[in-house]
Amino acid sequence: MTYEKMNFFAAQAWVDGAWARDVLLKVGADGRWSDVQTNTPSEDRSKATVLNGPLLPGLVNAHSHAFQRAMAGLTERRGDSPGAASDDFWSWRDRMYSVARRVTPSQLEAIAAFLYAELLDAGYTQVCEFHYLHNAADGAPAADPLEMSLALVRAAQTVGIGLTLLPTLYMRSGFSDAGLRADQSRFASTPASLLRLLESVRAQAAHLPEFNAGVALHSLRAADMAAIREVCSHAAGAGLPIHIHIAEQTREVQDCIAASGQRPIEHLLSNVALNAQWNLVHATHASPAELQAVRESGASIVICPSTEANLGDGVFDFSGYANGTWAIGSDSHVTRSWTQELRLLEYSQRLTRRRRNVAAQTANCASSAAALLQGALSGGSSASGRPLGAIRAGQRADFLVLDVQSAALLGVPGAQVLDALVFSSPEARFTDVFVAGRRTMHDLRPQLAQDFLRTMRALWN
């Protein structure tokens, strides 16, 4: 696909981890930055579109389950799961299954399109969709094996967000189980069925420039190591990103030790060669030795602070992972804002360590907001399998225009706008969001909201 070449000018833009002044930005016919010039003389700006606010790179949402947007705010009462002895991840999961078992392809498309529009408005320009709704609602093979996957692809195309689709291997309900429970049958896949689905979707969506795909392994408890190796071998050969939920829950850690004699990340490291294609989602209960091994492997950890807090998972050892590659995801979508995710990540560290500016100290820099933003940007490219996360020649031209008239930013000196964006509320707005140099559409929002409302009524009324 050929894009329109464009020139933009911004008085202030986030370039190479710092604010730069008088920045001229050129978008090539491939939708990537062809040139970025700082301290540009006034005579060189005459033919550029002037952007009315500071520029930031677009962010990757590195972990999404789009269908779970339909249950945001609906699991916040004690005893939502009938018969549950306590409220924790496992009781929440029963409520989640009630949506997963019923949602139709058209409903999934409506939910995802509304969600993806929200993510765009919040400054995410690519979303990694960890997708395991493979079968029909009753668990039988779908008449069209691609129908749920293509619903997500259409949703992303409708709103203009980039999509990394991650079809997910899901074979058993636990380490000692031979298969899935009845309420998990919709998720069932094998290495063969998963790889057929992956390659079929890649073939059908090959013409879509902001689409790509990878693979996901639901968890160590959900697949045996031989199956994991088979899927990963295919992904490694094709250069695709690999994602896995791991060490999210203490019970998962205990079960893994009981089954293998090793902790989850330790067990994974003993059986596969981690590298920069790998993205370990959560890793909340990783040991210091495991975190060091992940850091040395070049793999990335995807932290999902709002979901981890909402589910009572625990707090990721951010300081213990200093200098490691990481990204953020909104996972269950109880919030759809990357600034909230970064704020919660920092505040969780402050609460557990009783110190301030933990991210700044961990990254050895002055600003916690800058350390958090740069960390999230650095891991996004690995998670998405795309050149994203910087205003730099060769990167996709995804960027956000910050509204400095937002209440949280009024009167804030330019050098500290990022600090206020992350740590002051109410949420500051973005006046424009661009993907591959193109402004995303706003006039679709009312129709997307109506479609989402009809879906919510069908699911819950």
Say which amino acid occupies 296.
Answer: E
CA angle 315, 320, 321 (to 5 degrees): 95
What does the DSSP 8-state code read for residue 429? P
**Element containing residue 353 per DSSP (H, E):** helix 338-353
Give dist(CA 407, CA 420) in Å, integer.
10
Strands, E, within 95-173: which ranges? Answer: 124-131, 162-169
- The residue from 243, 285, 317, 331 that is catalytic is 331
Angstrom CA distances, 366 to 294, 358, 361, 402, 414, stand at 26, 11, 8, 22, 15
Is 331 an active-site residue? yes
The owner of tokens 């009024």 is 410
Instruction: Please give the C-alpha separations between residue 221 and each of 169, 246, 326, in angstroms, as whole numbers.
Output: 11, 9, 23
8 Å CB contact between 342 and 77: no
| Residue among 67, 57, 65, 46 nearest 20 (CA) | 57
CA torsion 429→434→438→444, rounded to 10°? Answer: -50
Task: Give the Cα separation of 371 and 364 in Å (integer).
Answer: 8
- Say if residue 426 is preceded by a cis peptide, omega within 30 of 0: yes
Write out the two tokens for 176: 């000692």
Torsion of CA 44, 50, 53, 54, to 10 degrees: -40
For residues 107 and 459, the answer to whether their CB atoms sit within 8 Å is: yes
Neighbours of 334 (CB within 10 A): 20
Phi-psi map region of 187: left, alpha, beta (phi>0 left; psi -120 to 50 alpha): alpha
> Which of the residues 245, 282, 285, 333 is marked catalytic?
282
Catalytic residues: 282, 331
